Amino acid sequence: MTNNKTHCFTCNKDKITYLCEGCLKNFCLMDLTKHRQILNEELHRIITDYNQFKQTFNEQKPNPHDLFLIDQINQWKIDSIEKIQQKAKDCIEIVIKSSQTFFNDIKMKFNDLNKQLKQIHNENEFNEINLNYLRNQLIKIREELNNPPKTSIQQDSHPFINEISIISLKKKPKFNKWKQNGITVAGRNRQGQELNQLNRPHGISIDKKKNIFIADWLNHRIVEWKQNAEEGQIIAGGNKQENRINHLNSPTDVIVDQQNHSIIIADSGNRRVIQWMNQKQQILIHNIHCHGLAMDKHGFLYVSDSEKNEVRRWKMGEYNSEGIVVAGGNGRGNQLNQFNSPTFIFVDEHQSVYVSDQHNHRVMKWRKDAKEGRIVAGGNGYRRNLNQLSRPQGVIVDHFGHIYVADGGNHRVMRWCEGKEEGEVVVGENGLGNRSNQLYLPCGLSFDDDGNLYVADSGNYRIQKFQIIL
């Protein structure tokens, strides 16, 4: 019996196990039952999603854009028919007029000949020359009548109506590119605490006006840099490293809550999430080793806890509760339901949570209500190969589902397409350094509305903007 025992993937014990043909992992009987239960729950979620989509599909109305196209086609038909009818009318008139002109000309010649015949006959003065002339004139008139001018239709190779066709434009994923030389838009003056300096910037957020909000980590403050400004403005903290309500201690991330015109800060050193609104402070969440923040379209707040190795979600206005664990929460580890010091997070429109799993050197995606995550970037050690990450930090996802990761230990920003075995370098291909085409410990990431990429270049104490190539 001992020889028949193998290692169970879930409980890490040597037991009689059974192979799951889907994930090719061995489970003991108890954990296999749990594994099948998770798969069954996933199937029910898919069925629920299908039924919701079916209801939406059945309620689908004609696309207004399609109706607009049909109206355009009908108008083209009316305009084209009018042109064709007018052209046909003009051509018929030309044919009738040409034929009438020919007969009128013959008639005039015939009448003239008739007058000459009558005159000669009445005067009774004629000879052979007169008769030959009259005979020849009659022959010419007869021949002309029997051989009218030939008329034909000539078709122009260029149509006189505008031809139309229908072109179906399928939306294809767009792989954007950015200029490799970044522009320093904040912190151009090395390390320091002056208003034109930064000290290890971490998380960043860009508002609609392209103002940059920076978690200035070792300066214990949040700084706002307006577009094209030479220096920033302290909007939170900056009063030394303390735990008073108007102080910050090593803030790691900041998000702009545009609905409430406030900022929410991961005040990591003080183990709290705090909201600043018009210089007034409110502690939202206590006793949490927070690092990354995110807010979804429904206003739910997500916070990563690098100590408990989990991500929790809070409903707006219900911050006194413990929140709900939406990712991790199963202790420190490298299993699919675990993290090892999660940092930055991103939440998409489907409430899937993307987590930079720092010391597992990977990015995980947890679908809503999932019991475990999936590796969507890295997870193959911490070297510089294209299928690897090293201490990943900031993570954002674009509208096409492409995942962008600040690959901190490799001093670059990577793009991964879900399901691919490896990613590609977006910026920072030139290794560690402080030149405009280099990065040093990149941390936070953000896009503006134009698609320009902003990187908190932490080791160089600056924020770099990489312009999109249109």
Note the pLDDT tens digit of each residue in 137-160.
888 888 888 888 887 877 776 666
Report residue 3's pLDDT band, with 50, 70 and 90 as the boundaries.
Answer: low
Report residue 172's pLDDT band, with 50, 70 and 90 as the boundaries.
Answer: low
Q: pLDDT digit string (tens) for 253-281?
A: 999 987 777 899 999 999 999 999 877 89
The tokens of 452 are what? 């320009």
CA 117-118-122 angle, to 5 degrees, is 120
pLDDT of residue 467 exceeding 60: yes
Exposed/middle/buried for residue 94 (C-beta within 10 Å: 0-12, 13-18, 19+): exposed
Evaluated on CA atoms 465, 426, 414, 381, the torsion sign reads negative
Distances (CA, A) of 217 to 87, 188, 211, 286: 78, 17, 18, 19
Distance in angstroms (rounded) separating the CA atoms of residues 83 and 157? 17
Q: Enter the pTM of the model.
A: 0.66
- Residue 374 counted as domain residue: yes
DSSP string, 391-440: SEEEEEE-TT-EEEEEEGGGTEEEEEETT-S--EEEE-TT-BSSSTT-BS
3-state class (DSSP) for residue 65: helix
Residue 282 belongs to domain with CATH number: 2.120.10.30
- Residue 23 counted as domain residue: yes
Cross-strand bridge partners of residue 204 = 214
Mean pLDDT of 415-438: 92
Q: Residue 222 belongs to what domain range?
A: 178-469
pLDDT at 115: 84
Q: Which amino acid is at 333?
A: G
- Residue 127 counted as domain residue: no
With CA atoms as reference, report the closest residue to 34 among 308, 337, 446: 337
Most confident among 9-13, 55-59, 107-111, 323-327 (mean pLDDT): 323-327
Mean pLDDT of 287-300: 93
- Residue 76 counted as domain residue: no
Mean pLDDT of 348-373: 95
pLDDT at 169: 60
Same domain, 256 and 405: yes
Q: What is the DSSP letter of 10?
A: T
Mean pLDDT of 235-255: 89
Cross-strand bridge partners of residue 445 = 455
pLDDT of residue 429 exceeding 90: no
- Residue 42 counted as domain residue: yes
- Residue 110 counted as domain residue: no
pLDDT of residue 2 exceeding 50: no
Mean pLDDT of 54-81: 82
pLDDT of residue 170 exceeding 60: no
Mean pLDDT of 343-348: 96
pLDDT at 1: 43
- Residue 265 counted as domain residue: yes
Total tally of structural domains belonging to the chain:
2
How much is the mean pLDDT over the chain? 89
- Residue 78 counted as domain residue: no
Q: Which amino acid is at 399?
A: H
